[in-house]
Amino acid sequence: MSAQKNVFISHHHDDDRHVDSFQRMLGRGDYYVRNSSVRMKPANERRVKEGRVSENTIKRLLRMKMRWASTVVVLIGPKTHTRPWVNWEIEQAHKLGKRIVGVYLHGGTEANVPKALDYYGQAIVKWKTKGIVDAIEGKNTRFESPSGDLRQSVHAMSTSRC
């Protein structure tokens, strides 16, 4: 029986192709992910870079899309930690009471983990279907290295559920 989960995938836009891979990988495990994240088409990215879209408009759109999701998944690639929008999305997810899970992309390291994810995340796991599904469902609260070894979490996790 297929499971369905509504998630918001926070990622660096250079990693857009990994969003598709992430959804396909979980789909092979009979776990369907409905993603509400923002994927910028070149025309929209140009409008943002030209300053034709206000920061408040972007924030409103992101919050609206995030509210719909039960979990925020942060894809951790080589440049993820440098993206202010990723940290903002994680902070907003925390304010909205969302489950926050980090997933290392191939090539992602512990040094690439965004500060907000270290602080607000409930799990950080390697790129492996079962670990990811368990983290999304709240069965896995491990903080892993990219190899899957246990690493220290930076904060004491809250385990409250609504």
Q: What is the pLDDT of residue 160?
A: 46
35, 23 contact by CB (below 8 A): yes
5, 34 contact by CB (below 8 A): yes
For residue 96, give the CATH number of its domain: 3.40.50.9200
Q: What is the pLDDT of residues 17-40, one digit of tens each?
A: 888 899 888 888 777 777 766 666
The range of the structural domain enclosing residue 107 comes to 3-137
Q: Residue 161: inside a domain, yes or no? A: no
Q: Residue 142: inside a domain, yes or no? A: no
Separation between Cα atoms, residue 128 and residue 20, nearest integer Å: 15
Model confidence band, residue 86 (pLDDT cutoffs 50, 70, 90): very high
Q: What is the pLDDT of residue 162?
A: 47
Q: What is the pLDDT of residue 3?
A: 74
Q: In 10 A of CB 3, how many CB atoms?
A: 13
59: left (phi over 0), alpha (psi -120 to 50) or beta: alpha
The amino acid at residue 47 is: R
Q: Residue 84: inside a domain, yes or no? A: yes
Q: Residue 148: inside a domain, yes or no? A: no
Q: What integer best gives the mean pLDDT of the chain?
A: 84
Domain count, the chain: 1
Q: ∠ at Cα 6 (97, 45), nearest 5°?
A: 90
Separation between Cα atoms, residue 6 and residue 125, nearest integer Å: 19
Q: What is the pLDDT of residue 29?
A: 72
Q: ∠ at Cα 36 (58, 119), nearest 5°?
A: 75
- The pTM score is 0.85
